[in-house]
């Protein structure tokens, strides 16, 4: 692995770890009926692109997220990325991805080698071995159950905007 690609991977890992930590903090609490009109949801590719580039420390990335809310056992987040995610596995959360714009490949299944447990039940980093690839594009929906390794791979020069609903598995 070249020095540049190693730096890019480490930067992506640190950003994803930071975002993962942010997902559980400062999330608007939702109660009762919640409604997001189609126009609001359709605006996210450009709204999130306007937030880019994101800079954390000395790392610049083309990734932005907005936490829409937490409803107890499930939460909603909009995310746009022009870079790959890192392998991750959540022991107690199902991820439901609704692709709104762009394209990516979801690598899922298999096992993670070399990942770091960031907190109990939450591992990120390393690489997925023995996984399956599924291309996704606007309009697609994918469900990654708790306990299944997964990673988003974004083609160079492309972007991917999606809503993820995280559902706590009891």
The pLDDT assigned to 101 comes to: 94
Q: What percent of the chain has pLDDT over 90?
A: 51
What CATH number does the domain containing 143 carry?
A: 2.60.120.10
Tally the domains of the chain. 1
3-state secondary structure the chain: CCHHHHHHHHHHHHHHHHHHHHHCCCCCECCCCCCCCHHHHHHHHHHHHHCCCEEECCEEECEEEEEEEECCCEEEEEEEECCCCCCEEECCEEEEEEEEEEEEEEEECCEEECCEEEECCEEECCEEECCEEEEEECCCEEEECCCCCEEEECCCCCCEEEEEEEEECC
**Domain around 18:** 3-168
Q: Per-residue pLDDT tens for 35-74?
A: 888 888 888 888 888 876 666 566 666 778 888 888 888 9
**pLDDT of 161 above 90:** yes
The pLDDT assigned to 15 comes to: 45
């Amino acid at each position: 692995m070249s020095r540049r690609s190693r730096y890019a991977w480490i930067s992506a890992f640190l950003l994803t770890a930071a975002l993962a930590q942010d997902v559980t903090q400062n999330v608007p609490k939702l109660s009762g009926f919640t409604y997001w009109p189609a126009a609001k949801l359709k605006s996210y590719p450009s709204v999130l692109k306007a937030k880019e580039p994101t800079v954390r420390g000395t790392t610049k990335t083309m990734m932005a997220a907005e936490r829409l809310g937490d409803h107890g056992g499930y939460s909603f987040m909009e995310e746009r990325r022009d870079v790959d995610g890192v392998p991750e596995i959540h022991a107690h959360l199902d991820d439901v991805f609704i692709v709104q714009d762009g394209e990516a490949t979801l690598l899922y299944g298999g096992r993670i080698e070399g990942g770091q447990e960031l907190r109990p039940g939450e591992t990120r980093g390393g690489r997925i071995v023995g996984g399956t690839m599924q291309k996704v594009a606007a309009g697609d929906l994918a469900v990654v159950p708790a306990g299944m390794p997964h990673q988003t791979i974004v083609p160079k020069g492309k972007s991917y905007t999606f809503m993820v609903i995280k559902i706590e598995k009891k």
